[in-house]
Amino acid sequence: MTDIPPTDALHDRAVRIYDAFTHEHHDRRTLLRQMTALAGSAAAAEALILGIAASPAAAAITDPHDARLRIDRREGMEAGARSAAYIATPKASRKRLGTVLVIHENRGLTPHIEDVARRLALSGFHAIAPDLLAPQGGTPPDEDKARTLIGSLDYDLALKQAQAMMAHAAADRSGTGKVGVVGFCWGGAFVNRLAVAAGPALAAGVAYYGPAPDPSEAVKVRAPLMLHYAGKDARVNATGEPWVAALKAAGRPVEAFTYPGVDHAFNNDSAAARYDAAAAGQAWDRTTRFLHRYLDRA
């Protein structure tokens, strides 16, 4: 017996149910009940969930042992609390590099986010992917537990830790002194918040489908921003549109792109049902060009 691909309508409804679980109620029993009602059986519901959810076993786009990269894991203290980060840097670069913080989704510092850090390093950046769950013991293997920890995270502390990492990177004379940030989903929202909090210390920010702050905060932003949105992501887009309008009204440099017909998390290649290679590739090209524009020169 072969699996029958879901219709577009069923797929869209399943994605909305799963997003409500991951971003709102975090109740797996509710998720299973709603998916079973949609799919017709518990087995079909589990298959839908597996297709939509990110897979920890998904193959990385870059090799974790790529000989072109220097990889490091660091632990320490930032802003009075435990900190941790995954760091990727190209070995053969003969020029000073800009630094990019890579902010994870609400599942914490996963292998996928480490993969993104390696992609950035291969694109010519010093990439630092903080584990912002470090003060709570670090990212757990269980994604549901990670989401629970994200819900109780001290957001002000996380912002202070990110700013401390930015300050260390800016002071490193081996780099350009310019620090940018890119984030996805929960991390995309964090990019916007960091842009509000960091002022001119942030040289550039890129947010992928991140819920936006109150538009009144736009006047505090100093960094150029690039914002990527998924056309079918009504939840995030409802906050993104007024945020972009407020940034433009305040005279802040912002580039915003909406990719038609794609789902929230379209960049995450470890979530097969939502990943869109064409949109992800276009967004990535725009992202790396944007970051090079603002980070390459001292």
Residues involved in catalysis: 185, 233, 264
**DSSP secondary structure string, 227-274?**
EEEETT-HHHHHHHHHHHHHHHHTT--EEEEEETT--TTTT-TTSTTT
Instruction: Round to whole Å and give the CA distance between 45 and 39.
Output: 5
Neighbouring residues of 178: CB distance < 8 A, sequence distance ≥ 6: 98, 99, 170, 203, 204, 294, 295, 296, 297, 298
Q: Please state, in angstroms and rounded to a whole number, the distance separating the CA atoms of residues 243 and 193.
A: 12
The 10 Å CB-count burial string (b at 16+, else e) for 223-255 is bbbbbbbbebbebbbebbeebbebbeeeebebe
How many other CB atoms sit within 10 Å of the CB of residue 173? 8
Please answer whether residues 108 and 137 qualify as being in contact, where contact means their C-beta atoms are separated by less than 8 angstroms: no
100: β partners? 127, 180
